[in-house]
Structure 1
Amino acid sequence: MKKRTPLNRKRVLTDPVFEMSRQNSAEFSRACRANRLLRRALILGLRNKADRYISGRLTKTMFKILQSDPVSDRGERSVPKGVIGILKDFNFNRDTSLQNVLKAPYSIIINNEASRATISFPSIIPQAMIDTASGANAFMLSAMAASVNFEKETFPVEPVQTDILDLDLQRHENLQLQLPVIEHQPDNTVIVALGIEFFLNNRGSIEPVDKKHNALAVVKVF
């Protein structure tokens, strides 16, 4: 009969046999913190757009970023030292991706001197450039530019949105979202998220549709 080896917390924390487990645990915890920080930064945009599995999906993405850290040893890797650009195109609603719903061309410019990011839509033709599978007849664009410091866990952000716009209108011209980049520092990462939300406008009575049709995604990482 084999002698049973007691497994206790002290052994897990000190025994060299568990070194890799300790490293994995430490890095996973950092990925979880980065996930929570970004969700807190974008909370106002997530309320009507995120799916129920967002936490797990975002942690997985943050862990990929952490693993891309080229300078730190295993167990010491961190999100800020990784390739944070991996976040680009991350969709917060797994049921509806922004790329599939909103096909209108747009540009994103950041002005460091003015501490502002600008998302510009030269022209939106709703019937051709917006997926209307939701059955809605109105939509609203929203965006935010969060200046995130993953080490200090700060993320000042101010959301901006358009008016509720008519999906039946032939064309919307020169739409711009001017996003303030608040308290930006050299060590911070500016994460720009763009979203679309759908509504039913019944003779002036505005009702939201099921949030599974809405979308929010990271569209730029500076």
Structure 2
Amino acid sequence: MAKVNSIIKIEGTVEDLTFYKKDGVNYVRKKGGVSKERIGNDPNFIRTRENNNEFGHSGSSGKVLRRALGTMVFKAKDSKLQSRLLGVMSRIKNIDTVSARGQRSVSVGITTPEGKQALRGFNFNANAILDSVLFAPYNLDTATGVITLTNILTAEQILFPQGATHVSFQGAVCALDFETEVSEVAYSNVVNLPLNLTPTTITLTPASVPTGTGQQFFLMTVSFYQQVNGVQYSLKNEEYNVLAILEVV
């Protein structure tokens, strides 16, 4: 590695030289490293191939979950969701103690109590954590998927962003098989309330409770709006919205 002392500052690759900038200084280095073909075929790199296979599987599993939940994720996520899910899926994959190295999978790890616990309480928007936004108790019936919040005072038991006038709640049940990637989601009704001190009981009832192979995920969203002239608008492209996994069975 050498510094580049020139009026013309290049960034990128020219033949076998790579030019790059780090901490305001321009450097150049010769291209090198092990070729992709060698990593894919050389017996000395079998551990690397195993690690790469499991890493790719963990990333794909996070994508499978995001895709299964559809628009719910689009309305409540942060910029690092993909990398955070990769970390969680990698931990779940590591819990697979029956598959060979390089073949460990999320579909096996998630069947264990430890695997389910790794996703229980997961928040898709790290900037809006359920336990930091909602300060009212709720009850989840996993047999019916019904979520109940009794006599909630929205203006007092919710940490709402400045400018918000209303809040919406919605529940969902997702049945997902990580091995086959088959999924089904059932959404509850949406309850929209003004932010005030009137006690209100909220009941979120899903249209059905999807079953099948794999696991069931029970989720809840909390979304904020500002009402102007009778029309409600989401706040700042929904960056304050909450989406959390309440339970995994």
Query: One fold, TM greater than 0.5?
Result: yes
How far does residue 125 in structure 1 lie from its aligned partner after superposition? Answer: 1.2
Cα separation, 2, equivalents of 1:100 and 1:106: 14
For residue 213 of structure 1, give the secondary structure of its aligned residue in structure 2: coil
Cα distance per residue 1:128-172 (max 9 Å; x no partner): 210023330100012211100101101111222423211114211
For residue 164 of structure 1, give the secondary structure of its aligned residue in structure 2: strand
Equivalences for 1:15-34 in 2 at 5 Å?
A: 15-34=42-61
Equivalences for 1:94-133 in 2 at 5 Å?
A: 94-111=126-143, 116-133=144-161
Check whether the contact 1:134–1:198 (CA below 8 A) recurs between aligned residues.
no
Task: Give ranges in structure 1 of 5+ residues lacking alignment.
Answer: none
TM-score for both structures, normalised by structure 2: 0.79
Question: RMSD between aligned alpha carbons?
Answer: 1.8
How far does residue 67 in structure 1 lie from its aligned partner after superposition? Answer: 0.9
> Structure 2 vs 1, CA of residues 46 and 6 (structure 1 numbering), >3 Å: closer, same or farther?
closer
Question: Higher relative CO (CA 8 A, sep ≥ 6), structure 1 or 2?
Answer: 1
Percentage of matched positions with identical amino acids = 27
TM-score for both structures, normalised by structure 1: 0.88
Equivalences for 1:75-86 in 2 at 5 Å?
A: 75-82=102-109, 83-86=115-118
Task: Give ranges in structure 2 of 5+ residues lacking alignment.
Answer: 1-31, 110-114
Alignment-mate amino acid for residue 60 of structure 2 = R
Check whether the contact 2:156–2:197 (CA below 8 A) recurs between aligned residues.
no
Equivalences for 1:183-202 in 2 at 5 Å?
A: 184-185=211-212, 187-202=213-228
Partner of 1:59: 86
Q: List 4+ stretches of structure 1 deviating above 6 A.
A: none
Cα separation, 2, equivalents of 1:37 and 1:213: 24
How far does residue 68 in structure 1 lie from its aligned partner after superposition? Answer: 1.4
Partner of 2:235: 209
Check whether the contact 1:198–1:208 (CA below 8 A) recurs between aligned residues.
yes
For residue 216 of structure 1, give the secondary structure of its aligned residue in structure 2: strand
Number of equivalent positions: 211
Check whether the contact 1:139–1:196 (CA below 8 A) recurs between aligned residues.
yes
Equivalences for 1:127-166 in 2 at 5 Å?
A: 127-166=155-194
How far does residue 90 in structure 1 lie from its aligned partner after superposition? Answer: 1.1
Alignment-mate amino acid for residue 130 of structure 1 = I
Alignment-mate amino acid for residue 13 of structure 1 = G
How far does residue 6 in structure 1 lie from its aligned partner after superposition? Answer: 9.2
